[in-house]
A and B are shown apart, each in its own frame.
With several copies, the nearest count.
Chain A
Amino acid sequence: MTRLSRPDLAKRIAADIPVGAYVNLGIGAPTLVADYLPEDRNITLHTENGMLGMGPAAEGDQIDPDLINAGKIPVTELPGAAYFHHADSFGMMRGGHLDVCVLGAFQVSVKGDLANWNTGAPDAIPAVGGAMDLAIGAKSVWVMMDLLTKQGESKLVEQCSYPLTGVGCVSRVYTDLAVFEVGAEGATVLESFGESMDELRRLTGIDLKG
Chain B
Amino acid sequence: MLSKISPSVSDALAGIADGATIMIGGFGLAGQPVELIDALLEQGATDLTVVSNNAGNGDHGLAALLAAGRVRKVICSFPRQSDSHVFDGLYRAGKIELELVPQGNLAERIRAAGAGIGGFFTPTGFGTTLAEGKETRTIDGRDYVLEHPIHADYALISAYRADQLGNLTYRKTSRNFGPVMASAARVTVAQVDRIVPVGSLDPESIITPGIFVTHVVETGDRPWIASGQFETEAEEAEA
Contacts and interface: CB of A to CB of B under 8 A. Distances in A.
A and B physically associate: yes
A85 B180 contact: yes
Given A82-B167, A94-B123, A68 B173 contact: yes
A90 B211 contact: no
19 contacts: A44-B211, A53-B203, A67-B172, A68-B28, A80-B163, A80-B210, A81-B203, A82-B206, A86-B103, A86-B107, A97-B183, A98-B211, A126-B80, A128-B101, A130-B102, A130-B104, A132-B105, A133-B103, A137-B104
Interface residues of B, number: 74
Given A127-B79, A130-B103, A95 B116 contact: yes
Interface string A9-34: 00000000001101000000000000
B68 interface: no
Nearest to A54: B173
Contacts of A97: 114, 183, 211-212
Nearest to B166: A80
Contact of B103 (A46, A85, A123, A128): A128
By size class, the interface of chain A is 35 or more
A77 B2 contact: no
A87 B211 contact: no
A50 B170 CA distance: 12
A63 B110 CA distance: 30
B237 to A, nearest CB: 19
B187 to A, nearest CB: 12
Interface in A19-70: 19-20, 22, 42, 44, 46-53, 61, 63-69
Interface stretch (A140-148, A160-168, A174-182, A183-191): A160-168
A91 to B, nearest CB: 3
A42 B163 contact: no
Contacts of B103: 48, 86, 90, 128-130, 133
A46 B115 CA distance: 15
Interface stretch (B5-13, B41-49, B126-134): B126-134
Interface of B: 1-2, 27-31, 77-81, 84, 87-88, 91-92, 98, 100-108, 110-111, 113-117, 122-130, 143, 163, 165, 167, 170-180, 183, 198-199, 201, 203-204, 206-207, 209-212, 222, 224, 229-230
Contacts of A19: 2
A163 B100 CA distance: 14
A96 B177 CA distance: 20
A91 B108 contact: yes
Q: Which 9 A-B pairs have the closest CB atoms?
A: A90-B104, A91-B115, A94-B116, A79-B199, A133-B104, A167-B127, A127-B80, A86-B107, A72-B28
Contact of B172 (A51, A124, A131): A51
Nearest to B170: A83
